[in-house]
Structure 1
Amino acid sequence: MKIKAVTVNRFRGYSSPVTVQMDDLLVLVGRNDIGKSTILEALDIFFNEGKGCVKIDKDDINKDCLAQGQDCIEIGVEFTDLPADIVIDATNHTTLRDEYLLTSSGTLHVIKRYPNAGKEKVFIKANHPANPECADLLLKKNAELKKILEAGGFDCADKTKNSELRKAIWCGQANLQLSDCEIEVAKIDAKSIWEQLKAYMPLYTLFQSDRKNSDSDDEVQDPMRIAVREILGDPQIQADLAQVTDTVKARLEEVAQRTLQKLGEMNPAIANSLDPRLPDFTSLKWPDVFKNVSITGDDDIPINKRGSGVKRLVLISFFRAEAERRQNEASLPDIVYAIEEPETSQHPEHQRALTDALIALSEAPNTQVLLTTHSPEIVKRLKFENIILISDQTPERVSPVLEHELPYPSLNEVNFSAFGEASYEYHNELYGFIEAEGRLTEYKAGKPQRQYIRLRQDGSTVSQQIVLTEYIRHQIHHPENDQNVPFTAEELTESIEAMRLFLQV
Structure 2
Amino acid sequence: MKVSHIVVENYRSLRRVELSVTDYTALVGANGSGKSSVLYALQWFYEGGALEGEDICGYHRPADGEVLDESSDAIAARTVSVTVTFSDLTSQDRSRLREYGRGDTAVFRKSWVLGDAKPKVVGNAKQGPGFAELRTMKLVGDFRPAYASLRHSQEGLPDLGGSPSRDQVSDALVAWEADPANGASLVDIADNDANHMFGIDGPNIILRCSRLVLIPAAAEISNQVGSSGKGSALGDLIGAFMSNAGATARAKWQSTYADELAELNSSVKRSVEASTGLQASRINSKLVELVPNAAVSFVPAVPDWTPKGEASVTTDVTIDGTTNDVSKQGHGIQRAIMIAMFQSLLPDAALLAGSHNAHADETVDEAQARLQEELANLPTLVVCIEEPEIYQHPVRARAFARVLAALASQQGGQVLLATHSPYFVRPDQFSSVRRFRLVSGVSKVRRTSLAGVAALSGDEEVKVQKILEKRLPTSFSEGFFADAVVLVEGETDKAVLEAIAEVLGQPLDSIGVCVLEVSAKDSLKIPYSLFSALEIPTYVIADGDALGAARTYPDKQNEAANAHASHRASTERITAWLPAATALQGESPHSFGSPTTIAEKFTIWNDDIEEELAAWPSFVAALLDNGGKLRKKDLLAYRTAVFEADIGDLPSTLRTTIDAICAFRVNS
TM-score (norm 2): 0.50
Matched residue type, 2:81: E
| Paired residue type of 1:314 | I
Are the counterparts in 2 of residues 57 and 118 from structure 1 also a CA contact under 8 Å? no
Q: Is the 8 A contact 1:108 1:124 kept in 2?
A: no
Helix, strand or coil at the partner of 1:398: strand
Counterpart of 1:20?
19
Residue in structure 1 matching 2:448, options 385, 401, 426 = 401
Partner of 2:135: 138
The Cα shift of 1:40 comes to 0.5
Q: Which moved more, 1:368-377 or 1:156-165?
A: 156-165
- Structure 1 equivalent of residue 158 of structure 2: 156
Which residue number corresponds to residue 55 of structure 2?
60
Q: How many residues align structurally?
A: 416
1:485 maps onto 2:642 in alignment = yes
Counterpart CA distance in 2 for 1:429 and 1:493 is: 24
1:170-212 deviation line (CA, Å, top 9, x unaligned) = 799999683452112348x998997362342322111111224
| 2:434 aligned partner | 388
Which position in structure 2 is the counterpart of 1:363? 409
Structure 2 CA distance for aligned equivalents of residues 174 and 84 of structure 1: 15
Q: Which residue of 1 aligns with 2:211?
A: 203
Deviates most, 20-29 or 148-157: 148-157
Give matches, 1:255-270, under 5 Å: none
Question: Cα distance 1:333–1:345, how it changes in 2: closer, same or farther (>3 A)?
Answer: same
Cα displacement (A) at 1:151 = 2.5
Aligned equivalents of 1:451, 1:174: Cα separation in 2: 70
Contact 1:110 1:122 survives alignment (8 Å): no
Q: Matched residues in 2 for 1:129 and 1:21: separation?
A: 27
Q: How far, CA to CA, are the matches of 2:34 and 2:58 in structure 1?
A: 14
Pick from 301, 305, 316: which aligns with 1:296? 316
Is residue 29–residue 389 contact of structure 1 (8 Å, CA) maintained in 2? Answer: yes
Work out whether 1:415 is the aligned partner of 2:488: no
Are the equivalent residues in 2 in contact too, given 1:86–1:193 (CA < 8 A)?
no
1:11 positional shift: 1.0
Counterpart CA distance in 1 for 2:429 and 2:224 is 36
**Structure 2 contact 398–424 (Cα < 8 Å) conserved:** yes
Q: After TM superposition, give the deviation of residue 403 of structure 1 in Å.
A: 2.2
Task: Tell me by how many angstroms 1:216 deviates.
Answer: 3.5
Structure 2 letter corresponding to 1:137: L
Report what 2:34 is aligned to: 35
Per-residue deviation, 1:107: 1.3
Q: CA deviation at 1:333?
A: 3.8
The structural deviation recorded for 1:418 is 3.2
Is the alpha carbon distance of 1:490 and 1:37 closer, same or farther for their aligned partners in structure 2, counting shifts above 3 Å? farther
Percentage of matched positions with identical amino acids: 17
Tell me if the contact between 1:184 and 1:190 (Cα under 8 Å) persists in the aligned partners: no
Aligned partner of 2:479: which letter? F
**Contact 1:434 1:440 (C-alpha < 8 Å) held by counterparts:** no
CA–CA distance in structure 2, aligned partners of residues 339 and 490 of structure 1: 43
CA gap of 1:390–1:491, structure 2 versus 1, over 3 A, is same
Q: Distance in 2 between matches of 1:161 and 1:86?
A: 23
Structure 1 partner of 2:622: none
Where does 1:64-103 land on structure 2 (aligned, <5 Å)? Answer: 64=59, 68-69=74-75, 70-84=77-91, 96=97, 100-102=99-101
Equivalent position SS for 1:401: coil
Deviations 1:393-423 (A, max 9, x none): 5998222231233344533445324324668
Instruction: Give matches, 1:440-479, under 5 Å.
Output: 440-441=571-572, 442-443=574-575, 445=591, 447-448=597-598, 449=605, 463=614, 477-479=633-635
Please say if residues 78 and 114 of structure 2, whose CA atoms lie closer than 8 Å, have aligned partners that are also in contact: yes
Q: 1:11 to 1:350 in 2, by over 3 A?
A: same
Q: Report if aligned partners of 2:28, 2:480 keep a CA contact under 8 Å in 1.
A: no
Amino acid at match of 1:58: G
Instruction: Please state if 1:110 is matched with 2:108.
Output: yes
Measure how far apart 1:25 and its partner are. 0.8
Check the 8 A contact 1:452/1:463 in 2, yes or no. Answer: no
Does residue 308 of the first structure (1) align with residue 342 of the second (2)? no
* 8 Å CA contact 1:209, 1:341 repeated in 2: yes
Structure 2: unaligned runs, 5 residues or longer: 63-73, 256-309, 354-371, 458-463, 492-514, 527-565, 576-589, 599-604, 617-629, 644-649
In structure 1, the residue corresponding to 2:397 is in which secondary structure? helix
CA 1:372–1:174: 2 relative to 1, 3 Å: closer
Amino acid at match of 1:178: V
Contact 2:610/2:631 (CA < 8 Å) preserved in 1? no
Q: 1:148: Cα distance to partner?
A: 1.5
8 Å CA contact 1:130, 1:177 repeated in 2: yes
Asked whether the 8 Å contact 2:59–2:78 carries over to 1, the reply is: no
Helix, strand or coil for the counterpart of 2:516?
helix
Aligned residues of 1:71 and 1:115 also touching (Cα < 8 A): yes
How far, CA to CA, are the matches of 2:631 and 2:8 in structure 1?
A: 47
Residue 276 of structure 1 aligns with which residue? none
Once the two structures are TM-superposed, the CA of residue 379 in structure 1 deviates from its matched residue by 2.0
Q: CA deviation at 1:368?
A: 0.9
Is this contact kept in 1: 2:225–2:341, CA < 8 A? no
Change (3 A) 1:206 1:72: same
Task: Note the C-alpha offset of 1:60.
Answer: 0.8
Among 338, 343, 354, the residue aligned to 2:400: 354
Partner of 1:336: 382
Is residue 439 from structure 1 mapped to residue 570 from structure 2 by the alignment?
yes
Whether the aligned pair in 2 keeps the contact of 1:83 and 1:200 (CA below 8 Å) is no
Taking a change above 3 Å as real, the CA distance of residues 427 and 405 of structure 1, as seen in their structure-2 partners, is farther
Q: 2-side partners of 1:222 and 1:366: how far apart?
A: 26
* More moved, 333-342 vs 477-486: 477-486
> Quick check: 2:111–2:119 contact (8 Å CA) kept in 1?
yes
Question: 1:414–1:178: structure 2 CA closer, same or farther, 3 Å change rule?
Answer: farther
Q: TM-score, normalised by structure 1?
A: 0.64
Q: Which residues of 2 match residues 198-277 of structure 1 at below 5 A? A: 198-212=206-220, 215-216=223-224, 224=234, 228=238
2:226·2:314 contact (CA, 8 Å) conserved in 1?
no
1:156 deviation in Å?
Answer: 1.0
Residue 43 (structure 2) aligns with: 44
Q: Distance in 2 between matches of 1:47 and 1:383?
A: 26
**Closer, same or farther in 2 for the Cα pair 1:24/1:153, shift >3 Å?**
closer
Rounded Cα–Cα distance in structure 1 between residues aligned with 2:185 and 2:105: 19
Sort the Cα spacing of 1:217 and 1:136 in 2 relative to 1 into closer, same or farther, 3 A: farther
**CA 1:218 to 1:422, structure 2 compared with 1: closer, same or farther past 3 Å?**
farther
